[in-house]
Structures are given as C-alpha cells and as structure tokens.
Amino acid sequence: MTDPLIPQTTPATRMVTAAVQDAYAEYGAEASRWLDGFTRQGGQVFCGAGCFGCCNMPIRLSLAEALVVRDALNAEKLAAVEQHARKVIANARTAPDEDVYVRRHRLEVGYCPLLDRETGQCSEYAARPTRCRDTFSAFPARYCTEGYWESLSPREKREYAREVARTPGTDGELHYIAPLEHLSEPVWDAASEAMDRAFGLQVWGDFWVLVTLSARPEFMAAVEAGDGRAALKAAKAAGLSHPMILEIE
Ligand code: SF4
C-alpha cells in the first residue's frame, strides 16, 4: 500500500463538491419535511445514532461525492479507506456473481472504516455519501443486519413479506423507506451535471475505491484533463480498477 496523500483541491473540484453539498442540503430539507409528515401520520422510522447495521453494505457513488469525503479526511483515515478499498477490489476480482460479491462485502470486507465502532456513529457524518443519507428502515435494526433475513424460517419469511406489504413507506418488497430514496435522485443528477461541466466526463463506482483514487494526483490530473483513458490507466497502475467498481464515461 502506498502512503496516503493529502488531498489537493482545485477550482474544478471545488465547483463539483459545492454542487454536491448544495444538493445534500436540499435533500436534507426535503427528507425532514417528508419524515415529519410520515411520522405525524403514524409512520415509523427505526434508524438513529448508534445504529450501524447497514454500514457494511457496498456503496456506489460518483467521483463528485467521493471528493466531498476526500476533502474531509485526514491522512490516517485516507489510509484506512485505501486498505478497505483494496479488500473491495480483491472481492470484486474473485466473486463469481453479484450476490456473492454483496454477501462477502458485508461479512468479510466488513464495516466502513469511517464507522466509529465505540459509539456506533459515523465519524464523517457531514460528508457521508447519498446512499448513507437516504437509507432508512421501517423495521427494527436487526432486519438490516447481514444474515438476519436468511436466518428466518419459511413461515417467518412469509410473515416478513406480509408485514412489508402492509407497512406504509416501503416499496412493498423490502423494509426500507422508498420515498426517501426517490427524493435523493436530484443529488445524483447534480453530481452528473457538475462532473460533466468540470471534467467533461463522469466517474462512478465503489465508495472507498473512488475516495482513494480521488486522493491520487495522477488520477485526478487525468480526470481534470477530461482524459478518461489516462484516468483508467492511472487507476489500473494503482491496482484500483475493476469493471464492477469503476466506471468512467
Ligand atoms: S460513511 Fe458513515 S454512514 Fe456511510 S457507511 Fe461509512 S460509517 Fe456508515
């Protein structure tokens, strides 16, 4: 593993991160309004500080969001993120399919290194990506834990399906609150537009891989030059490229 590099902001990356931060603020306000109405009507949300059952899920984001995180991290946290990114890459290279990839991510790659395991809280809450902002559970935390649903008996799984179907706010299939995910779509749009404007290309992929790449001058120089091929070459040279976890469009 190479030494972590202290991130450098540029006018282009500042423009991109400002667009994302504005979109986060708008999403936060919209989501609070929606949640107020939902709870007034008797809806329940079980997420809260100290609950981290979903912090071992794979997370996809844009480079624009990764830059927001990169700018918040010190060298020690960047090193921890890189270590995690290398486990993500190893998993992607060996997983035979997406189901195995996700299961192994949760069980073996493990919890996000930005999770404070003592408090159960996100240590970079203000910079966390969209997926961490828009995932809310209409069921207690144990339902978000890897392996819990699989551990249920066939009868309990049928009861789960019936309960989800009659719980307001879900999509009828899973216990997550669907409207709060839909409300975050403008964040994805803002990130796409900002990357197009600033770089002339878009980069999407795994959270920890993109944060690590965003701290590498050779990768960012290629992105800022709008040279997708050179960016991919830099990612490959860093051992951080795989079609499942890095897309440059
Ligand atoms: S960034 Fe924070 S909220 Fe998101 S997975 Fe990591 S610890 Fe959890």
Q: What is the pLDDT of residues 224-238, one digit of tens each?
A: 999 999 999 999 999
Name residue 94's amino acid. Answer: T
136 CA to centre of ligand 1 in angstroms: 13
pLDDT at 3 exceeding the cut of 60: no
pLDDT at 2 exceeding the cut of 80: no
pLDDT of residue 50: 85
Residue 209, domain member (yes or no): yes
Residue 1, domain member (yes or no): no
Q: Mean pLDDT, the chain, as a whole number?
A: 94
196 CA to centre of ligand 1 in angstroms: 26
pLDDT of residue 7: 56
> Minimal CA–CA distance to 192: which of 16, 69, 11?
16
* Mean pLDDT, residues 178-195: 96
Residue 3, domain member (yes or no): no
pLDDT at 223 exceeding the cut of 80: yes
pLDDT of residue 4: 47
pLDDT of residue 97: 95
Asked if residue 106 has its Cβ within 6 Å of ligand 1, the reply is no
Residue 174, domain member (yes or no): yes
Name residue 84's amino acid. Answer: H
Measure Cα distances from 121 to 42, 46, 53, 218 in Å: 27, 15, 11, 33
pLDDT of residue 162: 95
For atom 7 of ligand 1, the residue with the nearest CA is: 115
Instruction: Say what percent of the chain tops pLDDT 90.
Output: 90
Residue 55, domain member (yes or no): yes
164 CA to centre of ligand 1 in angstroms: 25
Tokens for 2, please give them. Answer: 């190479």
pLDDT at 124 exceeding the cut of 90: yes
Number of domains present in the structure of the chain: 1
Asked if residue 102 has its Cβ within 6 Å of ligand 1, the reply is no
Tokens for 232, please give them. Answer: 């991919």
Residue 232, domain member (yes or no): yes
Q: Whole-model pTM above 0.95?
A: no
Domain containing 140 equals: 11-248
Residue 63, domain member (yes or no): yes
229 CA to centre of ligand 1 in angstroms: 30
β-pairing, 246-248 with 121-122?
A: unpaired
Asked if residue 67 has its Cβ within 6 Å of ligand 1, the reply is no
Q: What is the pLDDT of residues 36-68, one digit of tens each?
A: 999 999 999 999 888 898 999 999 999 999 999
Residue 2, domain member (yes or no): no
Residue count of the chain, please give it: 249
> Distance (Å, rounded) from C-alpha 135 to C-alpha 182?
10
> Distance (Å, rounded) from C-alpha 224 to C-alpha 201?
9
pLDDT at 6 exceeding the cut of 60: no
pLDDT at 1 exceeding the cut of 50: no
Asked if residue 69 has its Cβ within 6 Å of ligand 1, the reply is no
pLDDT of residue 236: 97
> Minimal CA–CA distance to 214: which of 246, 188, 243, 166?
246
Q: What is the pLDDT of residues 130-183, one digit of tens each?
A: 999 999 999 999 999 988 988 999 999 999 999 999 998 999 999 999 999 999
pLDDT at 5 exceeding the cut of 80: no
pLDDT of residue 163: 94
pLDDT at 239 exceeding the cut of 50: yes
Q: How many CB atoms lie within 10 A of CB 229?
A: 9
